[in-house]
């Protein structure tokens, strides 16, 4: 898994052996079982995640119903809002699959950034990319019908169809599971 992480980082900055060893010394890697809650509503956290293998999701519980807002899979990074604003979380993060993650916190990141300033540049570039992607995803969601959202999902993230339970996928698309079943049947019938 360390090579997977280093390959990802090398898309942004080149690493020396000293830099690789410094990263490995942080003990970042965690194996997490399916169903594990990484964060619960009301908890505070300093942890940021990078998915090397597996799938995690963000969801809210509103009026007793789960509302999934995001899935993070291989090579996706997630820093929960509560880490930035130092307030209790408003949502849950849990593992949809057995996952291998890197888990870091702001102290670890500050230590690495002070020793190796190029990591700060990499983090800035990554943050800019993530912000742009989230804005595009949000705009696409707000301006499309449920059918178009599903078709976009098939095109852009087809792996989720097989990896995620239907009720979570339906919630992510902003529809009920029964509506997703009808939508799938209608699309297959075309």
pLDDT of 135 reads 94
pLDDT in tens, 124-152: 888 899 899 999 999 999 999 999 999 99
In the structure encoding, which two tokens stand for residue 171, read together?
């919630």
Q: What's the token pair of residue 4?
A: 């997977």
Q: Report, as an integer, the average pLDDT of 165-171.
A: 96
For the purposes of burial, counting CB atoms within 10 Å of the CB of 7, is it exposed (0-12), middle (13-18) or buried (19 or more)?
A: exposed
Q: What b/e string do you get for 138-159 counting C-beta neighbours within 10 Å, with b at 16 or more?
A: eeeeeeeeeeebbeebeeeeee
Task: State residue 100 phi and psi, 5-degree precision.
Answer: -115, 120
Reference 73, options 99, 112, 46; nearest CA is: 99
- pLDDT at residue 190 above 80? no
Residues whose CB falls within 8 Å of the CB of residue 74, separated by 6 or more in sequence, listed in order: 51, 52, 53, 54
In Å, what is the CA distance from 93 to each residue of 14, 23, 36, 56, 181?
31, 25, 9, 7, 26
For 27-76, write each residue's pLDDT tens digit.
889 999 999 999 999 999 999 999 999 999 999 999 999 999 999 999 99
pLDDT digits (tens, 9 = 90+) for 73-127: 999 999 999 999 999 999 999 999 999 999 999 888 888 888 888 888 888 888 8
Q: What is the pLDDT of residue 60?
A: 98
Q: Quick one: pLDDT at residue 140?
A: 92
| Contact of 71 with 160, CB cutoff 8 Å | yes
**pLDDT for position 110:** 86
């Amino acid at each position: 898994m360390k090579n997977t992480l280093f390959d990802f980082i090398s898309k942004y900055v080149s690493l020396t052996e000293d830099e690789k060893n410094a990263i490995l010394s942080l003990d970042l890697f965690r194996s997490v079982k399916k169903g594990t809650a990484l964060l619960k509503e009301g908890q505070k956290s300093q942890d940021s995640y990078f998915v090397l293998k597996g799938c995690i999701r963000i969801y809210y519980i509103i009026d007793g119903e789960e509302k999934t807002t995001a899935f993070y899979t291989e090579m996706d990074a997630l820093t929960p809002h509560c880490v930035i604003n130092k307030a209790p979380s408003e949502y849950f993060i849990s593992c949809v699959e057995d996952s291998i993650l890197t888990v870091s916190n702001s102290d670890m990141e500050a230590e690495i950034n002070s020793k190796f300033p190029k990591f700060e540049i990499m983090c800035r570039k990554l943050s800019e990319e993530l912000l742009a992607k989230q804005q595009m995803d949000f705009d696409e969601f707000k301006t499309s019908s449920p059918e178009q959202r599903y078709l976009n999902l098939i095109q852009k993230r087809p792996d989720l169809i097989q990896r995620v339970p239907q009720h979570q996928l339906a919630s992510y698309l902003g529809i009920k599971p029964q509506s997703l079943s009808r939508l799938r049947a209608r699309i297959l019938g075309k």
